[in-house]
A and B are shown apart, each in its own frame.
Chain A
Amino acid sequence: MGKKMLNFEEQCKIVNLLKSSSEQKSIEETLTEFFTNPKLRHFNVCYSLSLLLQDKMMLSSTERLVAFAILHRSYSSQKSAANPFISFLVNAACDEGAENYERAFILHLLGFGNSNSSKEFLKQSASEYIKKFDPSSQTFPQKEQLQKQYLEKAHPEPYACLLKSTAVKNVLADPDVPPGCDVNSAEFDLEPGAKSKLGSGDRDEALSGLIANLSLEGLIPHWIRPLPPRFPVDEELVWLNPDNNHELQWDQGMCADTSRGAAVRDLIAKALRGPLAPNQQEQVLVELANDPKLVYHCGLTPRKLPELVESNPLIAVDVLIKLINSPEIAEYFTVLVNMDMSLHSMEVVNRLTTAVELPKEFVRTYITNCISSCENIKDKYMQNRLVRLVCVFLQSLIRNRIIDVKDLFIEVQAFCIEFSRIREAAGLFRLLKTLE
């Protein structure tokens, strides 16, 4: 459903123009008359005419001349190269199959070989031109020569889609004549008043039909653009299963008795400041055992852990064991591993290792810290004490298979050698040897 090229007025204009070509009016006159309408769309008109001209049969010889004249005149105010139909004109002028008078007429239009480029020839009518035409008076130049003269300085083509610019005329001749008959024979022209016979037709009817239906769009190669397939439905359908029932919960904590928790909290606060009396310690352990969640509410934070470890290592062990699933446990471990080495911290770690599975990294880091603490201590007495402690601690870890000696072998060996003067270090060294 391409757009129609010509509006109704233009169609009339063209039909009238073609009719008048056979009259005894001069071509010049016909042209002037044609261009009186300022609203005429020159390109559309010219393009239609060029399509009709391409159909060799459709237009009569006089009509063709007038049509060529229009093609030329429409753009005559500009340079010839700017005429969009210039190559069409040049090609027509060089068409060996065309009548010589037609070719000569186009050459005249183009002003070829005529320096004074007189417009005299337009003063006659088209039929006069044909009648007076003298074939010997005209020489026909080579196509290349014409192209050189009229096309060379043509503007670079403006951007146009190749697909569209390669369009070919979309009108096909499909003569409907009995097989074996000459299509060009005038016998098939409809005589006015005569009975129509098979294969006959009226040229004027076809012409006006064409003029009415011509479209700007030609025929182009077509591209197949497949529609993408619908995405397969595989797991997409929603299968429904019965829901689990989730009820809204009553908050049992409303006005609940929290005194027991408060007691433990007080005791823990006390435990940070100094060792608890045995019965108090007992109370804390019992309360913590009774309520597994109490440990989270007893007021201990990672920051306070070192105080608890130093003052009440047993409570610290118990609390840490209970917190082992807490998301905060890693933080507690971080604090533990970084606090100053002491008998109590080592005791806590040692007990922890037997009670729960500690992260390997934690144990490793702790041992490394132990060893470096021993090396850095200045006070000889304190150093001896600490080294002995570390050795006992390590032996215990190794014997209980808490650590894999291989992980720390070099480090521990170096430690043993450095402190070989101390009996426990020598013992640890022997233990290492037996494991090798």
Chain B
Amino acid sequence: MDLRDSSPSSTPNRDGNAGDDDGVLSVTSALAKDAALYFQSRKFAECVDVLNQLNSKKENDPKVLHNIAIAEFFRDGCSDPKKLLEVLNNVKRSEELALASGEQVESGSNIGNNITSGSKGSGTTTSLPASNCASIIYADEFDSSVASLNIAVIWFYLHEYAKALSVLEHVYQNIEPIDETTALHICLLLLDVLLACRDASKSADVLNYMEKAFGVGNVSQGENDLAASVNASESPLSRTLSEDPLDEMFSTLDIGGQNLARHTGLTSANDLPRITVDRSISGVDLKLKLQLYKVRLLLLTRNVKLAKREVKHAMNIARGRDSSMALFLKAQLEYARGNHRKAIKLLMASSNRTDAAMSSMFNNNLGCIYYQLGKYHTSAVFFSKALSNCSSLQKEKPLKLLTFSQDKSLLITYNCGLQYLACGKPLLAAHCFQKASLVFYKRPLMWLRLAECCLMAVEKGLVKGSWAPSDRSEVRVSVIGKGRWRRLLIENGTTRNRHVDSVERDVWALGDDGQPKLSLPLARQCLYNALHLLNCSELSNSKSILPSDSSLEENELSDGASSKNSNYKNLPSNDSKASTMPAALINLNGDLKEPKGGTNQEGIQTFISYYEDICRRENQMIKQALLANLAYVELELENPLKALSAARALLELPGCSRIYVFLGHVYLAEALCLLNKPKEAAEHLSIYLSGESNIELPFGLEDCEQWQVKKHIDCEEANVGAAAAKNSSPEGLEDFMFLKPDEARGTLYANLAAVSAIQGDLERAHHFVTQALSLVPDSSEATMTAIYVDLMLGKSQEAVSKLKHCSHVRFLPSNQQFNKSS
């Protein structure tokens, strides 16, 4: 025991004043023990007292300072996490500093007798992975892992996942030397952070590591572990089994049992912090935890089939324990499969209505379900309930650390934004998105939504300087004179240059509420932000191995045909693809660790690369939408050159959907036309021509499917119990806000007519515009082109009669102001 005293520590600072004195050593360790005991029994004031005594004996010991900060934080009711972060960061820095100086001493003393040190540098074996030979620690005294963990915990609770991740990843790289308890906490937190960041590949890695390192995988039979279950799922037998109705019955039985046990489980988990020296989580608890992480990972990667199996397994483990998480996950699973009624039932079974945090999540999730059912107003009611749960949560005293993370109001606000957008309320929606941007600012989709708010506001005439919707689609005609002298003067005669003069040029002009005003320039800025973010993420993903595009296309075809009901139609079935993409099995994240298992790992990698395919395809979809919107906005802002390049970029995207191809061509042609290149414009539109003068449908109904609300009305409203659900009127007002295939065809005819007219080919223009009017009789643009063609052909009578028959014409009495005043 006393060996340490006989050999003065090589590290400078730590035991400097304790090293020679047995008495001091025992006093400090006794004090440390007392402090720990106080801390465990949550007597934080006493704990801080003891720690202060300790601090006076061992001045500036980083670990003492660390524990003081933690204890004070709890003593003060978790009120100031930012301050705690500051202290912890200082502690971490000083520990790392001490460590570095310790290492210097160490290496310096050894240079002399280290004869073979050269051999390391001159290594000829390039094939071995070069590891990061950064600072590897042996001096346990200056281990900063606990401080790092705590820093990450706080970031996590503040929803700053990227910051938490960067701290944790650094620690995780070097997790082996860290003691079991801390390492376990680090891994668990890392998993939560990674899942929050939706990083499937690294999550799988950590999960896999945990199953190995914490011996959980070994406890269970082979099928429990993630990899094995992936492989197992490929046997058709297991799949058919899970469809068995009996299974469903068992799981409902499970729910009943857990309902009873939950209350005690939940409260105890919240009230008793498990701060113990020993492993703080029992074997079964850990097993359940890992199982639930596994389910979350599977849900994230949209592996519904497997998730179903695994969640059942989790339910079995959870028997008699707190399982609200398991129930929520099960509900999420059913939600993802489109079984909305079942999802509602599961939520009902799990909800602890007295707990504000739980009921906010409960209401939010119900809101999601009703949104998917197309009942936007009902979903609005639930979202706003969820928000008010959140605000009551914030009022609770004393604050718990968990309270910060339980405040999901920003996430719910995002959902609200989507719902307002669906209901056609762009101003409210934009307000929500702007609020939620604190969390979502890195997601391209959020910026796209904000841009959509701008476009919708402009379209609805809610923006200063834009026309009211009625004005926009209307042809205004002044009627001048009477009798034989009556003349019709068509106003609104030229291009719709409705915004340029009036809209403020300052993109971020703030409104009265301090929020940026919606405008077309703002829309453009948002779209650029989204594109930038998307390109960044593409760059960082480009190192992963992509399967060839052709195989992607194949999947798309087969999937579209097979599974139309599923939300996850993009997910290829496991077995069909396994052989085609061996390249993807290579460790995707470039982790240093050697591929650990043999074949099992491949299974995981396969489904993760499926997921990455899905993400890639989703990003492609987003990119199409972004470029289409951008081209539209630039046209509206009268920047045909920029519109041209956006439309070109859109058409160059691989695997562009037919709707966006159509838009790309239409925008591109208009831009070309505005740039005095009617011939090229006509060429772009002509790709839809078959034969001389017949236009094909640019896209089919099946292309619109993605936009339609999946309304399996399998939901018995009465069961929901919420009053709001009952007054559900037929909603889905703005379900699909785009042209039907026939209307798109009419659009092409009308635009071809315009191009032909500009080129002076009036015959052709006449033919096209006649076709257009038969397909889109209500289009004022087509009518105007038709009138133009008639006038050019000298048929003014016909022009007048077209004008009179068009439903969008408003005849205004002439302005006699002049006569009166003269």
Contact = CB atoms under 8 A, between A and B. Distances in A.
Contact of A248 (B70, B459, B483): B70
Interface residues of A, number: 130
A427 B479 CA distance: 113
A199 B822 contact: no
Contact of B150 (A173, A176, A249, A301): A249
Contacts of A250: 36, 39-40, 67, 70, 146, 275
Given A201-B484, A254-B63, A334-B120, A212 B818 contact: yes
A328 B123 CA distance: 16
Given A206-B486, A218-B493, A262-B4, A304 B114 contact: yes
A221 B632 contact: no
B430 to A, nearest CB: 13
Given A231-B452, A297-B139, A307-B116, A251 B421 contact: no
Contact of A202 (B106, B150, B482): B482
A406 interface: no
B495 A210 contact: no
Given A247-B401, A251-B67, A226 B739 contact: yes
A219 B493 contact: yes
Contacts of A188: 483-484
Contact of B484 (A183, A242, A359): A183
A223 B176 contact: no
Contact of A221 (B402, B415, B754): B754
Interface string A235-268: 1111111111111111111111111111101100
Interface stretch (B225-233, B509-517, B541-549, B743-751): B743-751
Given A1-B491, A199-B483, A233-B422, A249 B182 contact: yes
B713 interface: no
B185 A201 contact: no
A417 interface: no
Contacts, number: 479
A2 to B, nearest CB: 5
A337 B707 CA distance: 60
B276 to A, nearest CB: 9
B2 A162 contact: no
Contacts of B173: 327
Nearest to A187: B484
A238 B436 CA distance: 12
B64 A254 contact: yes
B753 A221 contact: yes
Contact of B736 (A229, A243, A334): A229
B354 interface: no
B294 interface: no
Contacts of B123: 334-335, 337-338
A224 B483 contact: no
Interface string A257-281: 1111111011000001100000000
A384 B598 CA distance: 40
Interface stretch (B25-33, B235-243, B313-321, B687-695): B25-33
Interface string B437-472: 000000001001100100110010000000000000
B296 A241 contact: yes
A331 interface: yes
B9 interface: yes
Contacts of B561: none
Interface string B102-143: 000011001001111101101111011111110011111101
A334 B128 contact: yes
B365 A335 contact: no
A147 interface: no
A163 B674 contact: yes
A120 interface: no
A12 interface: yes
Chain B contact residues: helix, strand, loop or mixed: helix
Interface stretch (A36-44, A75-83, A96-104, A164-172): A164-172
Given A226-B744, A330-B128, A299 B188 contact: no
B463 to A, nearest CB: 14
Contacts of B106: 299
Given A244-B192, A293-B179, A263 B3 contact: yes
B664 to A, nearest CB: 10
A206 B666 CA distance: 41
Given A250-B275, A255-B64, A233 B791 contact: no
B284 interface: no
Given A232-B706, A246-B189, A250-B39, A170 B125 contact: no
A15 interface: yes
A35 interface: no
Interface string B556-586: 0000000000010000000000000000000
A242 B632 contact: no
Contacts of B707: 229-230, 232
B493 A210 contact: no
Interface in A126-178: 161-164, 166-177
B302 to A, nearest CB: 8
Contacts of B628: 228
A146 to B, nearest CB: 22
A234 B781 CA distance: 33
A273 to B, nearest CB: 7
B625 A231 contact: yes
A167 B213 CA distance: 78
Contact of B663 (A226, A258, A325): A226
Contacts of B422: 233
A403 interface: no
A313 interface: no
B165 interface: no
B667 A225 contact: yes
Contacts of A245: 269-270, 402
Nearest to B629: A228
Chain B CB within 10 A, most for which of A2, A246, A302: A246
Interface string B32-59: 1001100110000000000000100010
A296 interface: yes
Interface in B371-388: 371-372
Interface string A306-343: 11000000000000000101111111011101111000
Nearest to A12: B822
A23 to B, nearest CB: 18
B371 A233 contact: yes
A385 interface: no
B304 interface: no
Given A172-B799, A177-B483, A226-B663, A361 B127 contact: yes
A238 B803 CA distance: 49
B324 interface: yes
B663 A55 contact: no
A416 to B, nearest CB: 24
Contact of B188 (A244, A304, A323, A361): A244
Given A221-B785, A237-B372, A334-B128, A247 B594 contact: no
Interface in A395-412: none
B779 interface: yes
B782 interface: yes
A436 B329 CA distance: 56
Given A226-B738, A361-B127, A246 B185 contact: yes
B788 A261 contact: no
Nearest to A177: B484
A175 B625 contact: no
Interface stretch (B404-412, B716-724, B725-733): B404-412
A313 B452 CA distance: 69
B784 interface: yes
6 contacts: A199-B483, A205-B816, A212-B817, A246-B153, A248-B150, A337-B125
Given A171-B490, A250-B39, A254-B63, 4 more contacts: A167-B493, A173-B800, A240-B364, A253-B146
Interface of A: 1-2, 8, 11-12, 15, 55, 57-58, 161-164, 166-177, 183-185, 188-190, 198-203, 205-215, 217-263, 265-266, 272-273, 293, 296-304, 306-307, 323, 325-331, 333-335, 337-340, 359, 361-362, 365
